[in-house]
Amino acid sequence: MRRHLLAVLSLFLFVTAASAEIVFDPPQVRENEAFDILIRGGSPTSPPPGLPYLRVAPGQITIDLMRGSGILLTPSWWGERVRVDGMPAGTYRVVVRTVHETLQETTLVVLPKPFSVAPGFGVRGTQVLIEGIRGCEVDRCTPVVRFGRREAEAVDVTGTGDLEVVTPSVVGEVDVTVTIGATTLTLPAGYFGMTSGDHPGVARMEKVLLPLNFRGEGAQGADWRTETVVRNDAPIPVPTEPLFSFSDLAGVTPLPPGGHVPFPQERVEGGVYLFVPRGLERFLTYKSHILDRSRSATDRGTELPVVRVEDTSPVIRLMDVPLRSLFRARLRVYDFDTVAGREVNILVTNQEGLAVRLSAVTQLPSCVVDCETYRSPFVALDLSSIAGLANAGEVDITLRAATNDARLWAFVSVSNNETQRVTLYTPQHKTPGATP
């Protein structure tokens, strides 16, 4: 009780100061790379502001928020996530405002990126790929690559003029320079850092969500398998987290070039993340299928999508999901931001006027190793067993996070009780992060 009172008081104090918090995601913003601006605040007496509108101008980024109308009896937190589809390098004043006031302003530095290096971390001897330089495509050239003051241990020019480089031993964050003839290009510090071991953590990585990697028994005697395979089409090894490629000599290793590796299955429901160094995920190819082996040895199952940040949204809309006694319909909701305890409001409607409101809270699944890193907070609802929804026919489902900075993804698996065949209902609508 006292804790709640303190929270409410702190919220009032927070809002009296008429401020909001601004966070950049990822924290280091690079020239012409998409990034998010997160805005979070509290709203004690009126519904929170929303519907952000982005304006950009040289040196200035402005986000206008529409104020909420009406009166709110209980204070609430609010959040918005605004996608910025790349900016030129430079320094920007970022202003968040409503019709009444400027909520917050801050400064954003967008780092120049004359070329790219990936992965952006390593130890001595790590192979990295440098792209975006000119001069080595046709003519033979001998580029000199330095990490800080140390020259790379080896530099190979690929057939398309990119550079495969073996890193020297340096310490900490360093700039990277490429010299071809009289021209030197410099990537400032912040793009590459030496790590002390093979596991750099996930800060320099982007992630994909594999919605299922389950193996185990299910209802009606089902024997579920998830067959997920990842192939590396990059010319260099790709160090993923977790590492799941095995070599007899070296144990777990980065995905080798051309490597074709099954992703491990577990007896844990919920999504699992695969972390890939920024800039290298585009070289990976996936396939993922869920299948029941209890009824058929030849069934190839149902394809599962691989989920990236641009597939997520604070509002997920699913359409015409059948809720009938013939089927088991299970709704799975994922939080892409590893925020356990995220509240999700669910509205289930049909054309006959049904409107059922549900709420769910995401949680980390119970597992053994590094759940907070590798597992998506998750909640599953058996829609078929919820009073009021049994035999509701074809329903539309709208999921809405309590705050708009959330990045949700969700789907319904509908299993035929006789055949165990699974049909998915995934979000097919456009999501805010999707850019052409």
Partner 1 sequence: MKRLFLLLFLAAAAPSFACEVGSFTFEHERVYSDERVEAVMTGTCGSTAVPLRPLVRVEGTTVTIDLADGGGGLTIPAPWGERVRLPRLFPGQYTVVVRIGGEEKARRTLAVHDRPFRITPEFGEPGQKVLIEGIPVGQVCPLIHCAFFAVFFGGVEAETEEIGDQQVVATVPPGSGRVDVRVELRFGDPLTLPGGFNYGMPAQNDWERVLFPVNFIGGGAHGSQWVTDSRMHNDGVVEVATVPNIWIDPASPILPIPLPFIPPQGRARFTMRQRDGGEFLYVPRRLDAPLRYTAHIVDLSRSTTDLGAEMPLVRAEDTANTIRLLEVPVESRYRARLRVYDYDLVNGREVLVVVRTKEGTALHTRWLTLTVASSCDTVSPCLSERPAFAVLDLDQIPELRGAEVVDVTLKSRTNEGRIWGFVSVTNNDTQAVTLYSPQHRTRAQ
- Which 275-314 positions form the footprint of partner 1 (CB under 8 A)? 281-282, 284-289, 296, 298-303, 305-306, 308, 310
Among 156, 370, 372, 418, binds partner 1 (CB under 8 A): 418
Q: How far is CA 360 from the centre of its chain?
A: 21
Considering the complex, what minimum distance in angstroms separates the CB of residue 74 from partner 1?
22
| 126-145 positions binding partner 1, by CB under 8 A | 132, 134, 137-138
Least distance to partner 1, CB of residue 232, Å? 11
- Say whether residue 93 binds partner 1 (CB under 8 A): no
Cβ closest to partner 1, residue 67 vs residue 225: 67
- The minimum distance between CB 100 and partner 1, in angstroms, equals 7
* Complex with partner 1: residue 15 or 96, whichever CB lies closer: 96
Task: Give me the least distance between CB of 372 and partner 1, in Å please.
Answer: 25
CB of 174 to partner 1, least distance (A): 24
- 284: region left, alpha or beta (phi > 0 left; psi from -120 to 50 alpha): beta
The pairing of strands 183-194 and 121-122 is parallel
Segment holding 9, helix H or strand E: helix 2-16
- Contact between 181 and 135 under an 8 Å Cβ cutoff? The reply is yes
Residue 33 near partner 1 by CB under 8 A: yes
- 294-301 long-range contacts (CB < 8 A, ≥24 apart) are 294/221, 294/222, 294/223, 294/420, 295/222, 295/419, 295/420, 299/421, 301/225, 301/227, 301/422
Which of these segments, 8-16, 246-254, 370-378, 413-421, binds partner 1 (CB under 8 A)?
413-421
Instruction: Decide if 367 contacts 41 (C-beta within 8 A).
Output: no
71 contacts partner 1 (rule: CB under 8 A): no
Residue 436 binds to partner 1 (criterion: CB under 8 A): yes
Q: Of the ranges 218-226, 238-246, 316-324, 363-371, which one interacts with partner 1 (CB under 8 A)?
A: 316-324
* Bond preceding residue 26 cis, omega within 30 of 0: yes
CB of 127 to partner 1, least distance (A): 19
Segment holding 28, helix H or strand E: none
Q: Is the CB of residue 81 less than 8 Å from the CB of residue 96?
A: no
Q: Report the nearest approach of partner 1 to the CB of residue 373 (Å).
A: 22
- CB 37 within 8 Å of CB 81: yes
**Using an 8 Å Cβ cutoff, are 61 and 84 in contact?**
yes
Nearest CB to partner 1, comparing residues 55 and 124:
55
**70 near partner 1 (CB under 8 A):** no
CA-to-CA separations, 208 to 211, 271, 285, 374, in angstroms, rounded: 9, 10, 12, 10
User: Closest by alpha carbon to 19, among 43, 38, 54, 45?
Assistant: 43
| 74 lies in the site for partner 1, by CB under 8 A | no
C-alpha distance from residue 111 to each of 59, 181, 191, 276, 423 (Å): 14, 25, 9, 21, 45
Question: For residues 363 and 426, which CB has a smaller minimum distance to partner 1 in the complex?
Answer: 426
Binding segment toward partner 1, per CB under 8 A, in 19-27, 240-248, 318-326, 379-387: 318-326
Q: Is 87 in the site for partner 1 (CB under 8 A)?
A: yes
Site for partner 1 in 331-390 (CB under 8 A): 351
Task: Find the helix or strand (DSSP H, E) in which 216 lies.
Answer: strand 216-217
Closest by alpha carbon to 85, among 114, 61, 101? 61
CB of 63 to partner 1, least distance (A): 10
CA separation (Å) from 247 to 230, 252, 258, 261?
16, 6, 14, 11
Binding of residue 235 to partner 1 (CB under 8 A): no
* Closest to partner 1 by CB, 78 or 168: 78
Check residue 392 for interaction with partner 1 (CB under 8 A): no
Touching partner 1, residues 215-234 (CB under 8 A): 229, 231, 233
The stretch among 2-10, 54-62, 340-348, 352-360 that binds partner 1 (CB under 8 A) is 54-62
d(CA 123, CA 193): 9
Residue selected from 217, 320, 370, 372 as contacting partner 1 according to rule CB under 8 A:
320
Q: Is residue 211 close enough to count as binding partner 1 by CB under 8 A?
A: no
